[in-house]
Chain A
Amino acid sequence: MNVVVVGYGPTAHRLVETLAAKGFTGSITVIGEEPRPAYDRVALTSYLSGTGAEALTYPVPGGIATRLADRVTAVDREGRTVTTRSGHVQPYDVLVLATGSAPFVPPVPGAEGAFVYRTIEDLDAIRDASREAEAGVVVGGGLLGLEAADALRGLGLATHVVEMAGRLMPRQVDEGGGAVLRKHVEGLGITVHTGVGLDRLEDGRVLLADGTAIEAGVVVFSAGVRPRDELARQAGLEVGARGGVAVDEGMRTSDPSIYAVGECALAGGVVYGLVAPCNAMAEVAADRILGGRAVFAGADQSAKLKLLGVDVASFGELSGALDVTYMDPVSGVYKKLFVSDDARTLLGGICVGDATPYATLRPLVGRELPAAPGDLLFAGTSVTVELPDDAPVCTCNNVTRGQVRAAVAEHGCTDVAAVKKCTRAGTTCGSCVPALASILASEGVVQSKALCEHFDHSRPELFDIARVRGISTFSRLIAEHGRGRGCDICKPVVASILASLNNGHVLEGERAALQDTNDHFLANIQKNGTYSVVPRIPGGEITPEKLIVIGEVARDFGLYTKITGGQRIDLFGARVEQLPDIWKRLVEAGFESGHAYGKALRTVKSCVGSAWCRYGVQDSVGMAIALEMRYRGLRSPHKLKSAVSGCARECAEARSKDFGIIATETGWNLYVGGNGGFTPRHADLLANDLSDEELVRAIDRFLMFYIRTADRLQRTSAWVESIGLDYLREVILRDSLGICADLDAAMARHVATYFDEWRATLDDPEKLRRFVSFVNAPGIPDPSIVFETERGQIKPVLVEVGRS
C-alpha cells in the first residue's frame, strides 16, 4: 500500500510514527511545505531563547520518504495522484490530509505589515523586525497570543496584548480567573487591553477601536486559526460550513481513500487545535489504514499550560449548576470547580496560578467526587485521590490508569522510564509523569534507592541525615545508619557529602581512607599507576611568568604536557613521591589545586570577551575568573564544568556545561544541565538578562540544591531532567520550598572556608608522609613504571596485563 501524507506538522508526524511503530509494510511519503520535518510547536517559543530548530525537530521515522519545501497544489481523485508546486506527481492508494491550520488575520487596514506566530520562519521574521523596534503588540489574548507576548517580551520589546473579549484566555478561564491572570501578566510589565477591537494598523502604530494609539514596530496576529481546507475544497471533498474537512469517526473524508487529521479536520462538528486530540486523530487514522476499527469519539479540551510563568489549566465543562471557588489575590491563585446540582459529580474546573488540582481532578470529570469540593481545591495537601482504571492519565496519548497498571503488572515495568516506553504516557507534555510515579508506587513497585549493600539510603537521604544530625564521620554514619565497613561506592559518596557540609581537608583523619585514589593523592591516576597534575588556571587566563613555571616544572620532572579541554595544562607521568615536590614549585609560583581529581568544580572556561573581541558584549573572562574563584574546591555528586561566553556566538561552548553563561547586551543568560560526554545535552535556559549579582545568586542556589539532592554520580544534566526545569526555577528563583536562605548560607560558608588543599598538604608533614611509592623504602621509585619517548615527550610503556 502506498500512503501519501499531505502536510508535515506534529499530527502528520504522529501518524507516520504510529504506522511505522505498528509494523506498516507499505510505502509512506510525507510532503510538507516547510523546509524541515515536523517540529514541536508547543515549544516554539523556546526557539527564540536559543533552542535550535534541530532540537525542536522530530526525527523522521525510518523507511519514510519525505518531500520538504514543496506543497501539494492539486489532488486527482480519479487517477489517485497528487501534484506539487514543483510539478512532482505522487501516486497514492491512501491519502491523508494533515494540512493543519493558518493563523487568522483580521481584515483591517494595514494588516499586511503584521506577523503571525506559527512557524520557525515566522519567528525568524519577528526576531529580525524586533531588532529595530522598541515596542510590540500582540492581537489576541488567548493561549497562543500570550505565548507570542512572552516571545516579544523575551526579545526585549515593551509588549501590549489586545483582546477583543473582556478577559485574557476567554476560552479557558472565567472572569475571576481572567482577572487573576491579568494581574500576573501585568506584573511582568505587559500592558493588557481587553474588551476592545482593532481599528487599523499604520506604519509604526496600532489604533484600537476606542481610539487608543499604541506606538509599536512589531505587530503579531494571534487571533485564532482557520483550518487549511483549500485543497479538500478544490478536490470536491465535503467541508464544514465554517471550514474544516468533514470526517467520520474513523477520520475518513467523503472520499473513502482520503483521510483528514489534525487541525484541518472537522470531527463530529468540531475543529480541534490542541495537541492531544490531534494525536488521537492521527492514531485512529493509522489504525484504520492498518485495517483496524479505532474510533475518534471526540476529545476533551482540557489544557494545562504554563504561560509567562503562570500555571493555567482548565478541564471538563466550564459551567455548572454549582461552583466552588478558591481565590487568593495576594499570591495570585484562582481555582474553581464546577459540580452537578447535588454537588456529587465533578463537571470541570479552572486553575490559575496553581495547577496542582489539574492532574488529580481532570480524570475524575463526570465521576463522583472523592471528597468535598473545597478540600479538593487544596489538592496535594491531604486528599488522596484514587483513580478508576478507565480514567485517563495521559490525555496527550490517551492512556488510562488501567493501561499504566497493566504495563506494571503484565509487562514488568519497574520505573517511570519503562512505563513511558511501554505506554507512551508522559512522552508528550510530561505533566502526567508524577501521576505515573504514583501509580507505580500504588502498584507496589518499590524503587530501590539503596546506595550499596552498606546503606539503604540514597545519596540525597544520606546528605540530609548527615546535615540534620550533624554527623561528621563515616564511622558514625555507617554505625548509626548502615552496616559493615563500606566499599568503593559508599565511601567516596560519604567523603563528598562530608566535604560539601564541612569543607575540611579531604585527607584529614579518618576521611583520608574514604577517598578514591585521585582524591587521596590529590592527582589523577593514569593507566600505568602514575598521576597527572593540573594546576588551576581560572578562566583559562595565565601570565607568561606562570606559563614559564609550568614549562620549567614539566621539564625538570620529565612530565608529558597537554592542553586540556578546560583551558588548562595537564602534566602527566608523576610518581606519587614526586607530587609534593612538583606542587611545592607550583604553589611557590602562586598556583593552587585545580581539583581535576575531584568530584568538584573543574574549570570555568571563557572566550576572550569584550576586553579584546570586537563582538564581545560582556567581560566573559572576568566573570569566568570570578565564578571559578567562588566555586573552586566545591565538592559535589559529580564533576562540575562551566563556561562563560561573551556574546551569542558562544565561543566558550557554555551550553555544553553544567552551568553555562552567555552574555547579553544587558547582562547574562544562565543555562543549566548541559553535558558533553556519552550523552550530550544542550543546557536549558534557566534565567535571562541577569545582573552580575543575580547571576551569582542563581548559580549559588543551583549548585547547592544540586549538591543536596542529586544522586551519586548524577551529572546536572540527568538531575535537571529528573526534577524538571520548571520545578528547579520554582525552588531556586521563587523559593517555593523556602530553602533559598539556607542554600545561600551554605554557599557563603563554602566561599569563606575555602583553602587550597595542596598548600595545606605541603604544610602538614603527617599528610606528606603518605606520598611515597614504598612505605619501607621512601627513596625508591616504583621500578614497574617505565616510559618510552613519542613526539619528543614521555609515554607509558604498556604494562603487561596478566591474571595470576
Chain B
Amino acid sequence: MTAVQGIAAGTRTWIPICPYTDLIPERGAAALVRGRQVAVFRTHDDRLFAVGNRDPFSGAHVMSRGIAGTRGEEPVVAAPMHKQTFSLITGVCLDDPTTALPTYPTRVTNGTVEVSVE
C-alpha cells in the first residue's frame, strides 16, 4: 500500500493505517502514527474518526478500547478507565468541557484507512 505523500506546502501527509474492513463498527483500533498514538473509530453509519489514544484522565493510552456510541446525535467514545465521554467529532469531553482529546483528519483511499497527524 502506497501512502499519498505530501509534496507541497498546504498538502497533508496521510499515513495508511489498515484496511477499512478490518475496523469493527463502533470499536476502536490504536495506531502508531509518527510516534503518536491515535485511536481510530468506525461508526455504525460508516463514518471514520481519529482522536488521541491517551486518556487525559488516567494518563494511560487506552481510548481506542472505549465503548463507542452516541449521546444525542453526537458520536462519542467513553474512556475505558473511568467512563468519561468524549465527542469523536470535536474531541471535547462532554462530562468536562475543559478537557479534550486531539482530533485527526481521516480518509479512506482504495479501501485503506489513512490518518494525518500534522
A-to-B contact residues, CB < 8 Å = 453-454, 475, 484-488, 490-492, 510, 512-517, 520-521, 525, 527-529, 769-770, 773-777, 780, 782, 784, 798-804
Contacts and interface: CB of A to CB of B under 8 A. Distances in A.
B30 interface: yes
13 contacts: A454-B70, A486-B70, A487-B71, A488-B67, A517-B62, A529-B60, A770-B24, A774-B32, A775-B18, A776-B17, A782-B37, A784-B61, A804-B101
Given A487-B70, A487-B76, A775-B18, A513 B60 contact: no
B56 A802 contact: yes
Contacts of B87: none
B65 interface: yes
Interface string B60-103: 11100111111110011010110101000000000000111110
B48 interface: no
Interface in B28-77: 29-33, 37, 40, 43-44, 52, 54, 56-62, 65-72, 75-76
A801 B80 contact: no
B80 A803 contact: no
B77 to A, nearest CB: 9
B75 to A, nearest CB: 8
Given A485-B43, A802-B56, A803-B98, A453 B31 contact: no
Residue among A475, A492, A521, A782 with the highest chain B CB neighbour number at 10 A: A782
Contacts of A802: 56, 59
A513 B68 contact: yes
A525 B85 CA distance: 18
A521 B62 CA distance: 12
Q: Which 7 A-B pairs have the closest CB atoms?
A: A799-B59, A488-B78, A529-B60, A517-B80, A803-B56, A775-B29, A517-B65
Contacts of B40: 775
A779 to B, nearest CB: 11
A573 to B, nearest CB: 13
Contact of B59 (A492, A770, A801): A801
B12 interface: no
B29 A517 contact: no
Given A513-B27, A775-B18, A775-B40, A491 B69 contact: yes
B57 A801 contact: yes
Contacts, number: 122
Given A520-B65, A800-B59, A804-B100, 7 more contacts: A491-B67, A513-B68, A520-B27, A780-B32, A782-B30, A803-B57, A804-B99
Contacts of B68: 485, 513
A783 to B, nearest CB: 8
B22 interface: yes
Given A517-B80, A773-B30, A453 B58 contact: no
A528 B80 CA distance: 12
A515 B83 CA distance: 13
Contact of B24 (A484, A485, A513): A513
B27 to A, nearest CB: 4
Contact of A525 (B29, B31, B62, B72): B62
A48 B52 CA distance: 60
Interface residues of B, number: 47
A510 B27 CA distance: 10
A6 B59 CA distance: 62
Given A485-B44, A776-B33, A799-B59, A517 B71 contact: no
Contacts of B33: 776
Contacts of B26: 485-486, 513
A776 B18 contact: yes
Contacts of B44: 475, 485
B84 to A, nearest CB: 10
A525 B65 contact: yes
B25 A799 contact: no
Contacts of A515: 67
Nearest to A520: B65
A527 B27 contact: no
For A487, A491, A775, A782, which residue has the most chain B Cβ atoms within 10 angstroms?
A775
Nearest to A492: B67
Contacts of A514: 67
Contacts of A513: 24-27, 67-68
Nearest to B15: A776
Nearest to A491: B67
A510 B42 CA distance: 13
Contacts of B72: 453, 484
A147 B59 CA distance: 60
A510 B32 CA distance: 25
B71 A799 contact: no
Contacts of A527: 58, 60, 81
B65 A774 contact: no
Contacts of A475: 44
A769 B32 CA distance: 16
Contacts of B37: 774, 782, 784
Contacts of A492: 67
Contact of A488 (B27, B69, B98): B69
Among A487, A510, A799: residue with most chain B CB under 10 A: A487
B85 to A, nearest CB: 7
Contacts of A780: 32
B23 to A, nearest CB: 8
Contacts of B59: 798-802
Contacts of B58: 527, 799, 801
A798 B58 CA distance: 10
A488 B61 contact: no
B43 A529 contact: no
B83 A488 contact: yes
A142 B43 CA distance: 69
